[in-house]
A and B are shown apart, each in its own frame.
Chain A
């Protein structure tokens, strides 16, 4: 069971309190009704599923109930960092080269 730092509760809490919510930083287009089929496909269906660093959404469902973002390494399954929903994708990751 992983320990996940909730940026709102400001501490690490057991994974049982959380739910993963898929890839992060995919904004719903503000003019969604007008976008092309290709753009809709990219927005709704296409995901990175990378080997290595992934930016993903989690919800502290059974805690503060907030959605937030996390950077996780899919190889080591380690969390690099977490940050609040709406904050920009971090440009630098602590402890990660490249």
Chain B
């Protein structure tokens, strides 16, 4: 048995195919194809949640994505818990486990409901006004307590074990919405042969045909016709049909984001199936067929469980075969609720009465209701309902006042009319227009899209489908489709319902204090909106923020128009003058999983490894992240901490030699007859006279005169330079060079090619470096005479090509061995084997930093920060004084850059040699001055230098070079450190070791 309220012979599900599920621990049985909502209703369960602020009992308002009340937690296991799932959307699967939210200790007895009794204190703006003082209490007292009392679901605290996928897709015509209009548009477009994608948020296509029993198309029921069309579309090679897929965002140039719920409805999704799939669709034309959403009536206690939209009750009956009650009342201001009443009556449900706010309503549906023997109270209003956890009666009163009458009911169906779903249209930056039917409909379009059917304010099935078919044909033609024979579907019978009402119903007007809900999810009543206007809010945007109306995750799908009408009424202004709030993406909540899709774990960001990474790993390297690169930081041996390892590495390099993986350096090959001319323009140094086979340290500036990058450049031939950049600067330096070459110096015959990853680079540094390399090299004379410091040779090492640089970033004799990347590991291993004969060590980036600091070599980005000139860095010698032009030449002569007192890079020696300064520490000249002290600079690099037997530091100090010998101070929280200003070179000041 799948529930006492399941009606035999009603609905489209197969009763034999049952599915078991639990709600708040209690076991129930539903039917495959149910939503959690329909399955609970079939079991007579209406109470499913507590409201956000007042903790009022809540049931199901709708049967779709607009649901503001029935939010539950679905848990598959301890890690897979999804809060705030709309029970009206969640499809049932065998074993589903759901829990109600925002209640304690239980759903039927909730302590938090005291907020409802105390609600006069919790009116709109309460939080803003009450929790102001003292300021500090907000963070420690108010916010934590409010947060725990309010809010809906609880986020899971474990990593999400599911996986998500993404897909870029392109099509000619994208149809959003798979109701009658959407299907007609898709069919029309598809027949022209263009690429079509049609998406609908429901499990099955058909839209309002799910409940609209009066529709007949092409000689069959509307629903059956829809299923036939879907099958036809699926069979076409040019059409992609996406069900359970929500278009959540409409972005520039017909770029639409869709989320497909791939396995949320499956009991056992399996390993390879993603939970959700993100579609990023680019469409030449978009057809919006998003339908309309029914509005509720705004009257006292309209949030009681059992009070729901008429179309929802009709859907539960006609699609799921579920009666929402045994004795239902109807409260309406338009015709559509009559259809629900008639269908329920036919199914054997007692319809206690239809209360119609209109005087003397007339039309086919009204006649049919009368004929079915349903009592109609026209010109009357439902002023309140009875019952606490479930509606038990409705109180009916003539709309202009008079005698009350209470009618017993167990469900109340309501309809205030239909609101066209213009959300996606609005997201596309289209402007809505308020039409004579008091509806906001698409007005001015901003993109290549068109709205059809109910979302366009078009009433009636026949008219909607005509409009949709024409729009589909036109969109396809504009997208390049060929005209074909027309097979427009013919509508035999339809239902037409328009009009309705906006705002509060009688009995919930300005003179009352009742709780007539406008926004169920955020607990906003008609009274709150009026209060916002009374307190001075004039724009609907302010009313919205003051009351939070429409700001919940349902984005006011049912509440916006009512809220607007109530505000307009209070302001005595027409609705369009008060204005509609802008709809923003997402249309319904989207999981972070779907947005991130593949980009998690190892795919969150690329991890770049050098060709020698495996060797370093095997030899115990500790790695550090440098941008996306993993670089060997230091190589600790047994029993060594970082300090000991780095000290040993530094000493070994200077004593014998060290091997260092420098592969991450950026490398650019500059080729062409104008290569030297180009280098002259991009670097401060002169290049024209650099001989082939020689190297030079180059500095690159930005146009403003500040250091942008640096590196050693080797001239391989008259027309070929091998340029190196910093690791972090590789991409931007290439871009900077291309920019100038392409746009400022396009007359130069030169080309740039990134070779960063073509060459693995092994730095061999130290007095024994040549002895280690030479035995493996062929075709290069490595003697000091043939290959002096700062030269480059091409030859072979280990039988493979090399570009061998003699250069040093340590101040000792050194080489950088470039080999094609795939040979990097093998050549490293060969050099390592040679090195072992001399006691060489592998060293990491930390030792590299220390060794270069001992020599006062700067690191761009550490010792410079984008405001440092070559002069500031003590590198004036690298600026070609006779050059007529280079990038930055004019910047260097700016007043600020030649002014006295600029911060200059200097060395600092702590008075106590054992004290190592903190990088970034501020420097002052008088530690006894009052706080805030005048800071004259900061430490940029600081290390313990085992080779110097003391700490060393570089700092940018105002007028630094003139302060040589001065004592300065570095104030720290617990002490003041005395330092002496020195030159930048701490080791081998004469530079004799380069040839040592």
Contact = CB atoms under 8 A, between A and B. Distances in A.
| Chains A and B in contact, CB within 8 Å | yes
Interface of A: 1-3, 14, 19, 21, 27-28, 32-33, 35, 37, 40, 44, 57, 59, 61, 65-67, 76-78, 85-86
B425 to A, nearest CB: 16
B926 interface: no
Contacts of B742: 66-67, 85
Given A57-B743, A85-B742, A85-B743, A44 B252 contact: no
Contacts of B429: 76
Nearest to A3: B253
Given A28-B744, A37-B895, A40-B894, A21 B889 contact: no
Nearest to A44: B703
A77 B743 contact: no
30 contacts: A1-B255, A2-B252, A3-B253, A3-B282, A14-B282, A21-B739, A28-B703, A32-B889, A32-B890, A33-B885, A33-B889, A33-B893, A40-B890, A40-B894, A44-B703, A44-B891, A59-B738, A59-B739, A61-B735, A65-B738, A66-B742, A67-B738, A67-B739, A67-B743, A76-B429, A85-B742, A85-B743, A85-B746, A86-B743, A86-B746
A66 B742 CA distance: 8
Given A33-B885, A33-B890, A57-B743, 6 more contacts: A21-B739, A28-B703, A40-B890, A59-B739, A67-B742, A78-B252
B225 interface: no
B890 A35 contact: yes
A12 B735 CA distance: 22
Contacts of A37: 894-895
Contacts of B735: 19, 59, 61
A2 B889 contact: no
B122 interface: no
A1 B249 CA distance: 12
Interface in B323-340: none
Nearest to A40: B890
A3 B280 CA distance: 13
B931 interface: no
For A1, A2, A59, which residue has the most chain B Cβ atoms within 10 angstroms? A1
Nearest to A4: B253
A14 B168 CA distance: 11
B251 A1 contact: yes
B757 to A, nearest CB: 16
A69 to B, nearest CB: 9
Nearest to B752: A65
A21 B744 CA distance: 14
For B168, B890, B891, B893, which residue has the most chain A Cβ atoms within 10 angstroms? B890
Contacts of B111: none
Given A33-B889, A85-B746, A44 B704 contact: yes
Nearest to A31: B885
Nearest to A21: B739
B690 to A, nearest CB: 22
B884 interface: yes
A29 B98 CA distance: 70
B446 interface: yes
B253 A2 contact: yes
Contacts of A59: 735, 738-739
B280 to A, nearest CB: 7
Interface string B889-908: 11101110000000000000
Given A33-B889, A44-B704, A67-B738, A1 B894 contact: no
Chain B contact residues (Cβ within 8 angstroms of A): what range?
20 to 34
A65 B577 CA distance: 50
Contacts of B884: 33
Contacts, number: 55
Contacts of B252: 1-2, 77-78
Contacts of B704: 44
A21 B282 CA distance: 25
Contacts of A65: 738
Nearest to B257: A1
A65 B894 CA distance: 33
Contacts of A86: 743, 746
Interface in B729-745: 735, 738-739, 742-744
A1 B280 contact: yes
A32 B895 CA distance: 16
Contacts of B703: 28, 44
A32 B705 CA distance: 12
Contacts of A1: 251-253, 255, 280
B739 A76 contact: no
Smallest CB-CB A-B distances: 5 pairs: A32-B890, A67-B742, A3-B253, A33-B889, A28-B744
Interface in B688-719: 703-704
A57 B884 CA distance: 27
Contacts of B255: 1-3
Nearest to B889: A33
A51 B253 CA distance: 20
A91 B746 CA distance: 23
Nearest to B883: A33
Contacts of A27: 744
B562 to A, nearest CB: 32
A55 to B, nearest CB: 13
Contacts of A2: 252-253, 255
Contacts of A14: 168, 282
Contacts of A85: 742-743, 746
A67 B745 CA distance: 13
A65 B739 CA distance: 10
Contacts of B891: 40, 44
B746 to A, nearest CB: 6
B995 to A, nearest CB: 38
A63 B537 CA distance: 51
Nearest to A19: B735
Nearest to A32: B890
B253 A76 contact: no
Nearest to B446: A76
Contacts of B894: 37, 40
Interface string B739-768: 100111010000000000000000000000
A96 to B, nearest CB: 16
Contacts of B885: 32-33
Contacts of B746: 85-86
Interface in B416-464: 429, 446
Contacts of A77: 252
B701 to A, nearest CB: 12
Interface in B629-680: none
Interface in B235-268: 251-253, 255
Nearest to A33: B889
A76 B746 CA distance: 33
A2 B894 CA distance: 39
B171 to A, nearest CB: 14
A21 B210 CA distance: 52
B195 to A, nearest CB: 16
B671 to A, nearest CB: 16
A44 B888 CA distance: 11
A76 B704 CA distance: 33
Nearest to B429: A76
A74 B891 CA distance: 31
Nearest to B168: A14
Contacts of A78: 252
A94 B288 CA distance: 28
A57 B740 CA distance: 13
A57 B253 CA distance: 20
Contacts of B743: 57, 67, 85-86
B875 to A, nearest CB: 19
Nearest to A66: B742
B708 to A, nearest CB: 14
B878 to A, nearest CB: 18
Contacts of A66: 742
Contacts of A35: 890
A44 B893 CA distance: 14
A38 to B, nearest CB: 12
